[in-house]
Amino acid sequence: MSAASGLIAPHGGVLINRFVPQERYESTLALAKTLPTIPLTPRQISDLEIIAIGAASPLTGFLNQKDYQSVLHSMRLANGLPWTIPLTLPISQEQAKTLATHPKATLTAQDGQPLAILHLQDIYPYDKAQEAQAIYKTTDPAHPGVAILYAQPELYAGGDVEVLTLPPHTDFPEYYLTPTQTRAYFAQKGWRTVVGFQTRNPVHRAHEYLQKVALEMVDGLLLHPLVGETKGDDIPASVRMRCYRVLLDNYYPLDRTLLAVNPSAMRYAGPREAVFHALLRKNYGCTHFIVGRDHAGVGNYYGTYEAQEIFDAFSPEEIGIIPLKFEHAFWCQQCGSMATSKTCPHPSEAHVTLSGTKVREMLRAGQRPPVEFTRPEVAEVLIEAFRNSS
């Protein structure tokens, strides 16, 4: 714990802030306009954002070769600190030639707006198949994370960043809280223990059950949906945010719940991403993190509870945040309540479970899924969204 605030210490002990101080802003911007440029994709801008605001503490930039290799092979930075997902900056051979004579480069948005200065440490080649196997446990190009990796340029540029600005968030700006802001909120509320919940989908009854079981143990809940780049068939962030708001307004203790967004992009890296998601929430001030079935998974690439088992590769002290490992939850008609296999003795025939495909079919047809599966208010938001998108 941080003695000053009573909150958990950030990963590595210091909450990073990579924004250029106001007194140096104009001179840094002027310098940025004279340097070679590297345009960033939306995913890379998300990575830049979590580095800038300290969500990816202790990272101060994109991984150099030494840290990259260490993360790949040992799930740790070169200094031994646990870290499972490499935040890297892919560049082409042509860009590398330009950077060979410049120790600095300007990272830009697609429209050319300067976002940050990269202080180049090294340029290095990498083995895409090796990274795919290490991070995603597969080299199958059908995996969405592997597909993005294979489409990248063939080199990485490593180095610290000085961030001038980030593209504005126009969708739901009031929910883009930085780790500094969430920590201030927790301190003001007197929350010494906070559980974080990661989601890229609307919250259904099983999620709600896990959150409320966890909320029985801690002072507060950070409902922290990921709103960076996701798969094309995932429900859009704007629709998901409407679902979260109607759910919180009707079914949660608002004085013990905070809704904010996680700006990082989805990797679908299963076990490794579960640890990554936990470390991000530690930086936001969470002491506990819910890890459910197939966390951050996609398809059949990972074991059902592999994302829970990976935490055993680290000592509790070095991870710092406590993973709350939950079984799959469902409504049991015989129990007359939400349950898991740990608490319900009844056969699966008594359990109300629906596949995502079945739910989407119902929503497209304007049919509300059963209340045992999803709250009516959430279903209405989703039905309206499917109706407007068709």
Predicted confidence (pLDDT) at residue 390 exceeds the cutoff of 70 = no
What region, left, alpha or beta, does residue 276 occupy, with left being phi > 0 and alpha being psi -120 to 50 degrees? Answer: alpha
Q: How far from chain centre, in Å, is Cα 92?
A: 27
pLDDT single digits (tens) 205-216: 999 999 999 999
Q: For residue 191, report the phi and psi dihedrals to the nearest 5 degrees.
A: -80, 115
Q: What pLDDT, on the 0 to 100 scale, is given for residue 5?
A: 61
Q: What pLDDT, on the 0 to 100 scale, is given for residue 199?
A: 86
306, 271 contact by CB (below 8 A)? yes
Residue 16 placed within a domain:
no
Task: Verify that 133 and 239 share a domain, yes or no.
Answer: no
Q: Distance between CA atoms of 384 and 137, rounded to whole angstroms?
A: 38
Predicted confidence (pLDDT) at residue 14 exceeds the cutoff of 90 = yes
Residues catalogued as catalytic: 200-201
Predicted confidence (pLDDT) at residue 131 exceeds the cutoff of 80 = yes
Tell which residue, 272, 254, 263, has the closest CA to residue 230: 263
Question: Residue range 153-180: average pLDDT?
Answer: 96
Residue 346 placed within a domain:
yes
Q: Distance between CA atoms of 218 and 45, rounded to whole angstroms?
A: 33
> What percentage of the chain reaches a pLDDT higher than 70?
98
Task: Verify that 197 and 331 share a domain, yes or no.
Answer: yes
CA Rg value for the chain:
21
Task: Verify that 217 and 349 share a domain, yes or no.
Answer: yes
Mean pLDDT for the chain? 94
Question: Residue range 84-103: average pLDDT?
Answer: 95
Task: Verify that 308 and 288 share a domain, yes or no.
Answer: yes
Predicted confidence (pLDDT) at residue 4 exceeds the cutoff of 60 = no
Residue 73 belongs to what domain range?
A: 22-163
Q: Distance between CA atoms of 274 and 271, rounded to whole angstroms?
A: 5
Tell which residue, 17, 11, 33, 385, has the closest CA to residue 201: 385
Question: Residue range 128-154: average pLDDT?
Answer: 98
Task: Verify that 236 and 216 share a domain, yes or no.
Answer: yes
Task: Verify that 110 and 205 share a domain, yes or no.
Answer: no
Residue 84 placed within a domain:
yes
Predicted confidence (pLDDT) at residue 147 exceeds the cutoff of 80 = yes
Task: Verify that 358 and 254 share a domain, yes or no.
Answer: yes
Predicted confidence (pLDDT) at residue 334 exceeds the cutoff of 90 = yes
Residue 207 placed within a domain:
yes
CATH number at residue 79: 3.10.400.10
Q: What pLDDT, on the 0 to 100 scale, is given for residue 189?
A: 97
Residue 297 placed within a domain:
yes
Residue with the larger pLDDT of the pair 194 and 328: 194
Q: What pLDDT, on the 0 to 100 scale, is given for residue 235?
A: 81
Question: Residue range 150-164: average pLDDT?
Answer: 98
Tell which residue, 232, 243, 145, 261, has the closest CA to residue 201: 243
Question: Residue range 117-123: average pLDDT?
Answer: 97
Question: Residue range 152-170: average pLDDT?
Answer: 97
pLDDT single digits (tens) 35-92: 999 999 999 999 999 999 999 999 999 999 999 999 999 999 999 999 999 999 999 9
Predicted confidence (pLDDT) at residue 150 exceeds the cutoff of 80 = yes
SS3 257: strand
Residue 15 placed within a domain:
no
Task: Verify that 352 and 370 share a domain, yes or no.
Answer: yes
Cis status of the peptide bond prior to 58, with omega within 30 of 0 = yes
227, 201 contact by CB (below 8 A)? no
Alpha-carbon distances, residue 89 vs 225, 226, 380 (angstroms): 24, 21, 41
For residue 132, give the DSSP letter.
I
Domain end, chosen from 113, 132, 163, is at 163
Task: Verify that 286 and 189 share a domain, yes or no.
Answer: yes
Predicted confidence (pLDDT) at residue 187 exceeds the cutoff of 70 = yes
89, 157 contact by CB (below 8 A)? yes
Predicted confidence (pLDDT) at residue 292 exceeds the cutoff of 50 = yes
Task: Verify that 99 and 234 share a domain, yes or no.
Answer: no
368, 380 contact by CB (below 8 A)? yes
Q: What pLDDT, on the 0 to 100 scale, is given for residue 314?
A: 97
Residue 103 placed within a domain:
yes
Residue 217 placed within a domain:
yes
Here the tokens at position 305 are 């509870």
Task: Verify that 272 and 155 share a domain, yes or no.
Answer: no
> Structurally, how many domains does the chain consist of?
2
CATH number at residue 287: 3.40.50.620
pTM of the model: 0.95
Predicted confidence (pLDDT) at residue 1 exceeds the cutoff of 90 = no
Q: What pLDDT, on the 0 to 100 scale, is given for residue 17?
A: 98
Domain end, chosen from 107, 141, 163, is at 163
Q: How far from chain centre, in Å, is Cα 5?
A: 25
Predicted confidence (pLDDT) at residue 3 exceeds the cutoff of 50 = no
Under 8 Å CB-to-CB from 315, ≥6 apart: which residues?
none
pLDDT single digits (tens) 228-283: 877 766 788 889 999 999 999 999 999 999 999 999 999 999 999 999 999 999 99
Alpha-carbon distances, residue 209 vs 56, 200, 217, 340, 374 (angstroms): 29, 17, 13, 10, 11
Domain end, chosen from 106, 133, 163, is at 163
Tell which residue, 51, 66, 38, has the closest CA to residue 124: 66
Here the tokens at position 230 are 């996701």
Predicted confidence (pLDDT) at residue 2 exceeds the cutoff of 60 = no
Task: Verify that 43 and 140 share a domain, yes or no.
Answer: yes
